[in-house]
Structure 1
Amino acid sequence: MRIGELARRTGVSTRSLRYYEQHGLLRAHRSANGYRHYAEADVRLVSEIRALLSVGFTLEDTRPFVDCLRSGHDSGGSCPESMAVYQRKLAEIDDEIRLLLTRRAEVAAQLAGSCEGCFFRGDT
């Protein structure tokens, strides 16, 4: 299929598809006239990349998932390298949550000190 069809089927712009190709995540075959042609399996690859990017993974983070799918696995997350990226990402998210909870407590304390008797959302 040509790049326009892959873009339409995956909901990704042709510019993004070219970007994925530039970073080695997607491989296009070139016809004699220079048009990019993609395999049916590339729909799954692009969908995997898009899903991971939408939840905060970087483009480089998606590489093990793409490699896992290319090696014939049903899920991009079923390979040890992918699982390691999942675990690292969860640890990063946990760190961010801890930081946000600390900041929230600090802001709540400042509010409480500035406005005795004020009720604010999240007060228990």
Structure 2
Amino acid sequence: MKIGDLAARTGVAPRLLRYYEQVGILHPIRSSNGYRAYGEPAIERVLQIRELLDVGLTTDMIREVLPCLGAEPKPRECPPAKDLDGLRSQLVNIEKRIDVLQRNRQAIKKFLSAWEEADTTLEPTSG
């Protein structure tokens, strides 16, 4: 697929996709006419890049860890990470965000449950 198709399927602007290529975290195939071509796996790759950026990883961190984020990472086959302390710090931040999200999910569930219970106990008014 062409860059415009990938952009449409991921919601990421073509300019940003070209930037991902420039910093080495997205690797299109170049056709004979020089156009970028992407396979179906590029969709998941772009979405994963967006998620990693959203939780605070830098493109440098992503470039280091992305090749090793498969189903069963094998650290000895991965290039050595330069910023392990930064990755550890980001992991702590992600875990904190998960805790906050879980607490908020529970609070919203309780709120909705209370409203649903109250709604079923109220008698309809006739007027």
TM-score normalised by length of structure 1:
0.58
- Please point out which of 65, 71, 74 is paired with 1:74: 71
- Residue 31 of structure 1 contacts residue 37 of structure 1 at CA under 8 Å; is this kept in 2? yes
* 1:89 to partner: Cα distance: 1.2
4+ aligned runs moved over 3 Å, structure 1: 78-82
- Residue 61 of structure 2 contacts residue 87 of structure 2 at CA under 8 Å; is this kept in 1? no
* Structure with more contact order per residue of length (Cα contacts < 8 Å, sep ≥ 6): 2
Structure 2 unaligned spans of 5+: 95-127
Q: Within 1, Cα distance between the matches of 2:68 and 2:39? A: 17
Identical columns (%): 45
| RMSD (Å) for aligned C-alpha atoms | 2.6
Check if 1:40 corresponds to 2:37. Answer: no
* 1:88 to partner: Cα distance: 2.6
Q: Within 1, Cα distance between the matches of 2:64 and 2:28? A: 19
Map of 2:22 onto structure 1: 22
Counterparts of 1:1-124 in structure 2, within 5 Å, are: 1-69=1-69, 73-74=70-71, 78=73, 80=75, 84=84, 86-91=87-92, 93=93
* 1:17 to partner: Cα distance: 0.5
Go from structure 1 to structure 2 and tell me whether the alpha carbon gap of 1:13 and 1:33 turns closer, same or farther (over 3 Å shift): same
Q: How many residues align?
A: 87
CA shift digits 1:26-64 (9 cap, x unpaired): 111111222100121111111111001112211112123
CA shift digits 1:89-115 (9 cap, x unpaired): 145x49xxxxxxxxxxxxxxxxxxxxx
Structure 1 unaligned spans of 5+: 95-124
TM-score normalised by length of structure 2:
0.57
